[in-house]
Structure 1
Amino acid sequence: MALFAIVCIFFVYRQQYQLASIVGVFLGFIIWSHFKHSSVLIASKYFKNSDYERAEKYLDEVDNPDRLTKTRRGFYEFMRANIALKRDDFESAERHFQIASRFPLGGKNDKAYVLIHLANLALRKKDGTRALAYIEKAKELATTSRATDIINVIEKEAAKLAN
């Protein structure tokens, strides 16, 4: 960003206003991109490699998650929730998964896994009816056999609690 700003000032000094405006547009795009995408993409790289400490470090750089684009916000909340699960912070994980469920993720199956996690957390609280509600939504979205198998297991457990 600093380089673009210096080049823009240089072009204004040289009275090359057209070039300065082009560089200014690029500088504006970089600033906009920083606020809309932030470091979520870098954090996802570490998250996929199971380096949760570094992923969380990059997620902490996001000052205001509400400014992120919808897709980035979904991944941000999904990663935060999974990191909270790894630390056995179930309240925080549930809150982040609920937020992630409102945003678009990679695909239907990813959204199904968010709902599966929410159903699991409801089972942990011994709330069978809530778990069944999450499972019904997850059934509509699940596309893989693994997700379907997990849904069936959770559904049996939730039915026992609901009765």
Structure 2
Amino acid sequence: MFVIPPYVRFALIALCLIGGIALWATLGVWYGIFFVLTGLILLAGYIFLGTIAPAAQAFQTQDINKAEQILNLTAKPEWLYGPNRGNYYLLRGNIALSREDLKTAEEWIKKAEQMNLGATEGAMVNLQLCQFEYRRRNFNAAKKYLKKVKEAKITIPQFKEQIDMMDQALKQSGQVKAAQRRGGGAQNTGGYGGKRRRPRTR
């Protein structure tokens, strides 16, 4: 997909609007209208789409600092249309996650969860929230998120591999808890029934 770099977009917006208005004023409407409309379309794209696409490209190449710098050029994230705003939050979360700032990452990803994301992005959000709950050993909540991930039926091989790894980790955690309960129950029973009364002292 062709992505216009942010600074190139800003230059084109200024050139089209200023040049178009100048032509409009000096030569007439039909000489400048095309440039003005082009500038307005580019401006609308910036307002409603932000700089997420070029930031995502930088993130995919592991250039985290560049991705964050480009994302910071989105002046008003609240003006982004629904799914794109969710992608903005998700990318913010992934940047924080890459820096091992788990608290900030979870805050951004929970914001993304509230947005109307596509199937793939929504599954990514649920998988990451599943991992956060797993780290907290809140296994029931993690299983609920993982169930949502599976229901999305994403076929990307790398993504399916992460799902399988998380599934295995949760199954093992369940087995450990079950073993602990059995062991704890035996201990409690033995302790309760195995107590001896001290002989009365005379």
TM-score, with length taken from structure 1: 0.83
Q: Does 1:66 align with 2:81?
A: no
Alpha-carbon offset, residue 154 of structure 1: 4.2
Structure 1 residues 98-137: aligned runs within 5 Å:
98-101=110-113, 102-105=115-118, 108-137=119-148
Q: Does 1:146 align with 2:157?
A: no
Choose the corresponding residue for 1:19, options 31, 41, 55.
Answer: 31
Matching residue of 1:56: 68
Judge which range, 129-138 or 63-72, deviates more.
63-72
Q: Is the 8 A contact 1:132 1:158 kept in 2?
A: no
Matching residue of 1:30: 42
Partner Cα separation in structure 2 for residue 10 and residue 119 of structure 1: 56
Choose the corresponding residue for 2:106, options 88, 94, 97.
Answer: 94
Structure 1 residues 70-81: aligned runs within 5 Å:
70-81=82-93
Alpha-carbon offset, residue 157 of structure 1: 5.3
Aligned residue type for 1:29: I
> Aligned with 1:130: secondary structure?
helix
User: Which structure carries more relative contact order (alpha carbon 8 Å, separation 6+)?
Assistant: 1
Matching residue of 1:82: 94
Partner Cα separation in structure 2 for residue 142 and residue 109 of structure 1: 9
Q: Is the 8 A contact 1:112 1:147 kept in 2?
A: no
Partner Cα separation in structure 1 for residue 74 and residue 143 of structure 2: 34
Q: Which has the larger radius of gyration?
A: 2
Choose the corresponding residue for 1:40, options 24, 43, 52.
Answer: 52
Aligned residue type for 1:11: L
Q: Is the 8 A contact 2:127 2:163 kept in 1?
A: no
Partner Cα separation in structure 2 for residue 78 and residue 161 of structure 1: 33
Percent of paired sites with the same residue = 24
Partner Cα separation in structure 1 for residue 81 and residue 151 of structure 2: 25
What do residues 49-97 of structure 1 show as CA deviations (whole Å, max 9, x unaligned)? 0111110111122222121233432322222111111222212111222
> Which runs of 5 or more structure 2 residues have no equivalent in the other structure?
1-12, 182-202
Q: Is the 8 A contact 1:119 1:135 kept in 2?
A: yes
Partner Cα separation in structure 2 for residue 111 and residue 158 of structure 1: 25
